Amino acid sequence: MVTNRKFRSAGPPPPATTLVLDNGADTIKAGFVAGGKASEPRIIPNCIARDRHKKLYVGSELERCRDFGEIAFRRPVEKGFIVNWEAQREIWDREFFDDTAPQECDPSETRLILAEQPNSLPALQTHCDQMVFEEFGFASYYRGIGPSFNAYQDVQAVFRTPREPDTPVEIPAEVILLIDSGYSHTTVTPILQGRPLHQAIRRLDVGGKLLTNYLTRLLSIRHFDMRNETYIVNEMKEAVCYVSLDFKGDLEKSWKGTRGERREDYVNGAGVAKDYVLPDSHTRFHGIVREYEPGASSRARKGAVVSTEDVLTLRNERFAVPELLFNPSDIGMRQPGLADLVMQSLSVLPIGLWPGLLANIVVVGGNAKLDNFIQRLQMELLERVPDECVVRVARPADPITSTWQGAANFAMHEHVEQLAVTKREYEEYGAGWVARKFAAGLGVSS
Amino acid sequence: MNNFGVIEIASTTTKSTPGWAYVPDTGPTLPAALQPTNRKRAARNQPALSLSDLSAREETRIRKELEALDRDNPRDLSIPIPPKPGGSGRAQNKHTSNVRKILQSQKTFANHLDDYQAMLALAETNPAAAAAMNAALAKPSTPTTATAKSASPAPTQSPSAAGGSKRSAAAAKRAAAKEKQEQEKERKRPAKQQPPKPDPSPSTQDSPAPPAQPPVQNDGATAADVEMPDAPPATGTNTSTTTTTTTPPATAPQPQPQPQTYPRESLILPPYQKPPPRPHTGDNDPLLVSYVPPFPTDDELRALMTAPPLSYLEARAKWGDGGGEEARYPPRTFCAVCGYWGRVKCMRCGTRCCALDCLTLHGEECVGRFGG
Ligand SMILES: [Zn+2]
Ligand SMILES: [Zn+2]
């Protein structure tokens, strides 16, 4: 990996340690870069949780929770942006700054690289900058949009592009179209040489939270009332949901049929139906996926067999939920699906850039882990672009930490020296100057 | 259809605001809080709305459902910050007034968004008032103002992005409005008895004080960028080679790269470096020639790469924007009971069902819910 270190000639040297934070709505990805090396990031729940016994858990303390029944969350990040600093500060204190913090550091000797979502509100950005310098007192700081950091990776390795052994890895990547599908929403960001093309960034307000809530609603209509079981439903979503490559076909396979009829596909499951054993809060704290066993759940419910298990049979819920990423109008949202989102983004760019962007689509964020996500997007894009266009969609090995990995590489790249501001600069020039400098980004030298 | 004599009128301004907030008057309202209004977009979207056959009642139902799907918890609750477990925390130095205010704020994202939209709306009609409000929100001039030219390695932002697309025009207009605010503040500054020397401490720009000015440095850069003309791209060295093209890099097996037709002159995206593919007998077959779109010039690229960010609502994708018709597909309807296609409608409430089984099931509920 190329790690250029060029320091600006003037001024004190930058801090030796960098704390890299991808501060997501659901989880914080956190780790250090020092001496040209990046540590493994920790994934920290970004919440204060309260279980049904009124016990409170802050951030990574949630590991100690066993019974997630009826657990409720307070989240400092809303719509992808840090809104509640009272809660965020508490979590950061306990994870990074307190004496006993698992990743303790001294901000006055540390640089902070913070990933934020695109298109934030200026007031929230200012709050963030003020907290970083005036409350935590970091020595140096850069706040940049998460998608751009993903360019600071070996993107061609993600696509498994054949390469001569002696070819240098290009960092940042020349051209990528970065899709970030997280807890709050899904964004499309075209990026050239690490510079986001701001005018073409588009957002779809469908994210993991909405998918989980939708699954909760479907289950509550069709099976049990799961409305207070967000955590359990979310686990279920991650375990059983998939993106359909044949929505009509899968829907047929999961339909019982008309009046009293029971179609064969419905009876035998047709590969779509799965059984899910719910946690019982005594012996089993996490759900279990099982192959569909015809009649298992209904027998259990009728008490025909002695069973302590609550079993749900999931059918079209498995794919109708992630379908919202591709057809938000299924629940009445007036937004285009993901493939059209990409086309809307491209539509404001010169056509000459399309081939490069379409051939280098990288998907990150938790939703990228849904089975067939990549394939479905590629399929739908091929329907929308000229025949001779190459469409390549890929996800990195770990789509959840990808933004963090990129930001860590960025922290070792010469670009960081161009962009970071020091506490002194903040004190001298003010928050407005810092905000404008971050917004201006790298620019293009000519 | 029996609507029980009540038609709910959908409304967007439903948030409860701790303390106060400016609420934008956005004219005709769109039905969903999840589908917030931007007046220009909203105007463009009107035809799509009128084509929609949803009644106000169904609109309301959908809005409520979408709001519910947007929640973090099923019900309102306040979870307190637990006391630190006996540990000594980070040395609690005294908070600056900025920090104190931020920590005490109970505003939600929706509150902040309302504030911001109101400020933008005001900036279009009444820059002076907007400037005052802007200051009241303790918000520095927004990053979309392309003023970060002075000092620092931060590059200039070119507002001439994309040759006057509606969006960039709007951004420029907004930026111009902001510039007026800046000027306004400049004028007010002496009246507010600010110390003549630049504020060394950011805490003094608390609340109504204007944000600190960009520093002037001795490298000849100027901080006085009050006007927002369509500035020529920054110190362009490459402006003469306006026909510069190159093959898109890293596009795997892309349309036949033909280096000789692609001058390697782009300084922004390096040209295709690898040797051309082996000649093929079909290379000159007119039926097999693929069309390679012209690559943008370096000027175009520079404009794109330095254009300012869009606002939160501008970035939100909507039906009807380029690349898609209003709704690319007619909305699909599903059975409210089992999730299969919704092929029949409940006569009483209009809910969709797949067939008689589910309709019967729904009917029991439908009766139960409304007492006949
Ligand atoms: Zn049905
Ligand atoms: Zn009904």
> A52, A217, A317, A334: best mutation site toward chain B, by most B Cβ within 10 Å?
A334
> A50, A134, A180: best mutation site toward chain B, by most B Cβ within 10 Å?
A134
Q: Give me ligand 2 centre to Cα B348, in Å.
A: 5
Interface touch B73/A230, C-beta < 8 Å? yes
Read off the pLDDT of residues B279-313 as tens digits, 9 standing for 90 and up.
777 667 766 666 667 888 899 999 999 999 999 99
Looking only at the bridges linking them, the beta strands covering A48-50 and A140-145 are unpaired
User: What pTM did the predictor assign?
Assistant: 0.78
Read off the pLDDT of residues A389-416 as tens digits, 9 standing for 90 and up.
899 999 999 999 999 999 999 999 999 9
Amino acid at A229: E
What average pLDDT does this structure show over A361-381?
A: 98
Sign, Cα dihedral of A218, A220, A224, A230? positive
Angle between helices A373-382 and A338-347 (to 10 degrees): 50
Asked if pLDDT for residue A352 goes beyond 70, the answer is yes
pLDDT of residue B128: 80
Q: Looking up tokens 């179209």, which residue turns up?
A: A177
DSSP assignment, residue A191?
Answer: E
What average pLDDT does this structure show over A298-302?
A: 61
Helix (H) or strand (E) segment spanning residue B171:
helix B166-191
CA A249 to chain centre: 29
What average pLDDT does this structure show over B108-136?
A: 85
Q: Give me ligand 1 centre to Cα A261, in Å.
A: 12
The alpha-carbon gap from A276 to the nearest alpha carbon of chain B, in Å, equals 18
Interface touch B328/A336, C-beta < 8 Å? yes
pLDDT of residue A339: 97
d(CA A353, CA B249): 10
Q: Give me ligand 1 centre to Cα A312, in Å.
A: 18
Read off the pLDDT of residues A255-296 as tens digits, 9 standing for 90 and up.
988 877 788 888 888 889 999 999 987 888 899 999 998 866
Residue A102 has which token pair?
A: 């698992």
CA-nearest residue of chain A to B288? A388
Read off the pLDDT of residues B191-233 as tens digits, 9 standing for 90 and up.
333 333 333 333 333 333 333 333 333 333 333 333 333 433 3
Q: Which ligand is nearest to the CA of A316?
A: 1
Helix (H) or strand (E) segment spanning residue B352:
strand B352-353
Asked if pLDDT for residue B179 goes beyond 50, the answer is no
What's the mean pLDDT when you consider all of chain B?
A: 62
d(CA B217, CA B219): 5
- With beta carbons less than 8 A apart as the criterion, state whether A250 and A244 touch: yes
Q: Does the beta carbon of B137 lie under 8 angstroms from any beta carbon of chain A?
A: yes
d(CA A182, CA A399): 10
Which of A184, A390, A307 shows the shortest CA–CA distance to B290? A390
Furthest CA-CA distance within chain B: 80
Interface touch A316/B340, C-beta < 8 Å? yes
- With beta carbons less than 8 A apart as the criterion, state whether A343 and A204 touch: no
Read off the pLDDT of residues A194-236 as tens digits, 9 standing for 90 and up.
999 999 999 999 999 999 999 999 999 998 899 999 999 999 9
Q: Please state which of the ranges A309-323, B130-144, B355-369 shows the lowest mean pLDDT.
A: B130-144
Angle (CA) A371-B320-A184 rounded to 5° is 40
Residue B115 has which token pair?
A: 């504030």
Read off the pLDDT of residues A108-159 as tens digits, 9 standing for 90 and up.
999 999 999 999 999 999 999 999 999 999 999 999 999 999 999 999 999 9
Read off the pLDDT of residues A79-90 as tens digits, 9 standing for 90 and up.
999 999 999 999
DSSP assignment, residue B197?
Answer: S
d(CA A172, CA B305): 14
d(CA A375, CA A245): 8
Interface touch B202/A90, C-beta < 8 Å? no
Residue A278 has which token pair?
A: 């719910």
pLDDT of residue B63: 92
d(CA B274, CA A162): 12
- Chain B residues closer than 8 Å to A217 by CB: 65, 68-69
Q: Give me ligand 2 centre to Cα A371, in Å.
A: 35
Residues in chain B: 372
More confident residue, B32 or A284: A284
- With beta carbons less than 8 A apart as the criterion, state whether A214 and A338 touch: no
In B192-219, which positions are buried (b, 16+ CB within 10 angstroms) versus exposed (e)? eeeeeeebeebbebeeebbbbbbbeeee
pLDDT of residue A304: 56
Q: What are phi and psi of A379, to 5 degrees?
A: -60, -50
Read off the pLDDT of residues B311-320 as tens digits, 9 standing for 90 and up.
999 999 998 7
Which residues does A279 contact at the CB level (< 8 Å), separation at least 6? A68, A69, A232, A285, A286, A287
pLDDT of residue A32: 98
Asked if pLDDT for residue B29 goes beyond 70, the answer is no
Sign, Cα dihedral of B31, B67, B332, A259? negative
CA B75 to chain centre: 28
- Chain A residues closer than 8 Å to B82 by CB: 48, 56, 58
What's the mean pLDDT when you consider all of chain A?
A: 92
Read off the pLDDT of residues B234-244 as tens digits, 9 standing for 90 and up.
333 333 333 33
Q: Give me ligand 1 centre to Cα A320, in Å.
A: 14
Interface touch A352/B295, C-beta < 8 Å? yes
Asked if pLDDT for residue A348 goes beyond 80, the answer is yes
Bond preceding residue A355 cis, omega within 30 of 0: no
Percent of residues, chain B, with pLDDT higher than 90: 20
What average pLDDT does this structure show over A366-391?
A: 95
What average pLDDT does this structure show over A24-30?
A: 98
For A292, B145, B146, B195, B284, the CA distances from B137, given in Å and listed in that order, are 56, 17, 20, 22, 65
Task: Compare CB distances from B317 to A204, A259, A426 and report the shortest one's residue.
Answer: A204
Interface A-B: count of C-beta contacts within 8 A: 408
- Chain B residues closer than 8 Å to A124 by CB: 109, 112
Task: Compare CB distances from A73 to B73, B215, B305 and report the shortest one's residue.
Answer: B73
Q: Give me ligand 1 centre to Cα B70, in Å.
A: 25
- With beta carbons less than 8 A apart as the criterion, state whether A354 and A391 touch: no
Instruction: Calculate the CA dihedral of residues A298, A304, A310, A313 and round it to 10 degrees.
Output: -20
> A433, A434, A438, A445: best mutation site toward chain B, by most B Cβ within 10 Å?
A433
Name the pLDDT band for B22 (thresholds 50, 70, 90). Answer: very low
Asked if pLDDT for residue A244 goes beyond 60, the answer is yes
Q: Please state which of the ranges A232-236, B84-88, B132-136, B162-166 shows the lowest mean pLDDT.
A: B162-166
Instruction: Calculate the CA dihedral of residues A167, A172, A174, A175 and round it to 10 degrees.
Output: 130
Q: Partners of A29 in the beta sheet?
A: A22, A43
Alpha helices in A77-121 (DSSP H): 85-92
Q: Please state which of the ranges A134-138, A295-299, A300-304, B318-322 shows the lowest mean pLDDT.
A: A300-304
d(CA B299, CA B276): 27
Interface touch A130/B98, C-beta < 8 Å? yes
pLDDT of residue B365: 80
More confident residue, B26 or B356: B356
Sign, Cα dihedral of B159, B161, B163, B164? negative
